[in-house]
Structure 1
Amino acid sequence: MASPRKCPVSICEKWGIKPITKNNILYFYIPLQSASSYAGLSVNVVNPNFVSRLIPNRDITSLLLVNSVVGAGLHIYNRPHLLRASPKERVLFSAYGAVVFSFGSVLLWAVIRSLIPDRASLCTVLGLSSSVALLGIGKKYLDYIDTSCGY
């Protein structure tokens, strides 16, 4: 006997796929997509030759950085601990957090690049792994703040 078919909705929920709504686009899908830009930015900073071989004649550093800042800012803006702040304060706090996080990461990657021997594969692995680690730590930090505020 054939096994029963699973409902596509439950499969989507299991994989973390959310329905397409304005809020999900702004506060889930754009930040999720910007995480890939953040990872790309890390590779671009620690191993610029790799990205320039993939995309010749274009410097995409600014595009990756802006995309990372926007996604991080939207993610922070929608966190429960900021819901009681005025819209102006939410924008200010989320922009500050996103800029400090992104530019601080770029500075860290530039330091890593200067300290590591000129081995492209090592630089790429360190860049990607540090971006994943920093994203995870940042998410855990924001979750902690939300929990500490009673959310």
Structure 2
Amino acid sequence: MATVKPSASVGSKLGLKPLNTHTLLYYYVPFQGVLSYTALSINVMNPSLVLRVFPRKDITNILLMNTLLGSGLYLYERPHLKSLGQKERILYSAFGAVTFSLGSVLIWAILRSVIPQNVPLCTVCGLGTSLALMKIARNYTEHVDTLTKKT
């Protein structure tokens, strides 16, 4: 008699993780931070586009706070910080999140001042740089993690 393997759930096929406190804090919030970071890049590079979508409210601070929270929790859970005490982990992850996020905003502001004021071009530059910076940041943190002694 052949055994039947259970099929993977739709959520796992999409790369979603089961919902619990750990995955909420260290998977879903950082993922939401990625979305906010990407939207922040568009907002900084092309504020008129975002104002068309949200005409009554400037969402820059909301996007920035979500980006900081997501990237901070991502860094807090990285293996290279696990051996530190909670205070140091919070301090270093907050520092990394703020440096990464505000550094990105500065890069986008400089880019916006040097490229032609063209809506599609600014949007593509914002999206492209946000994806590139996130890839570099992820590769960097993964490299630092490999240097950490396994305990």
* TM-score for both structures, normalised by structure 2: 0.92
| 1:71 paired to 2:77 | no
CA-to-aligned-CA distance 1:102-150 (integer Å, 9 cap, x gap)? 0000000000100001101000000011111111111111000001114
Pairing of 1:132-143 with structure 2 (within 5 A): 132-143=131-142
Tell me by how many angstroms 1:5 deviates. 9.2
> What amino acid does structure 1 have at the position aligned with 2:100?
F
The verdict on how the C-alpha distance between 1:99 and 1:54 changes in structure 2, with shifts beyond 3 A counting, is: same
Structure 1 CA distance, aligned partners of 2:119 and 2:5? 47
How many pairs does the alignment contain?
147
Equivalent residue number for residue 107 of structure 1:
106
Asked if 1:21 corresponds to 2:20, the answer is yes
In the alignment, the residues of structure 1 paired with residue 47 and residue 66 of structure 2 have an alpha-carbon distance, to the nearest angstrom, of 18
1:7 aligns with 2:7: yes
- Amino acid aligned to 1:120: V
- Structure 2 SS opposite 1:59: coil
Q: 1:69: how far off? A: 0.4
- CA distance change for structure 1 residues 56 and 5 in 2, over 3 Å: closer, same or farther? farther
Aligned counterparts of 2:121 and 2:100: Cα–Cα separation in 1? 23
For structure 2, the residue ranges without an aligned partner over 5 or more in a row are none
Code of the aligned partner of 1:83: K
Q: Aligned partners of 2:38, 2:83: CA distance in 1, in Å?
A: 32
Q: Which residue of 2 is the match for residue 117 of structure 1?
A: 116
CA shift for structure 1 position 14 = 4.1
Aligned to 2:146: 147
Fraction of identical pairs, as percent: 46
- SS at 2:29 equivalent: helix
Tell me the distance in 1 between the aligned counterparts of 2:5 and 2:118. 49
Secondary structure at the counterpart of residue 8 of structure 1: coil
Deviation at 1:16, TM superposition (A): 1.8
Q: Deviations over 1:70-108 (max 9, x none)?
A: 100000000011111000000000000000000000000
Question: Which aligned pairs between 1:47-62 and structure 2 lie closer than 5 A?
Answer: 47-62=46-61
Alpha-carbon distance, 1:8 to partner: 3.2
1:7 Cα deviation from its structure 2 partner: 1.4
Which residue type is aligned with residue 7 of structure 1?
Answer: S
What are structure 1's unaligned runs of at least 5 residues? none
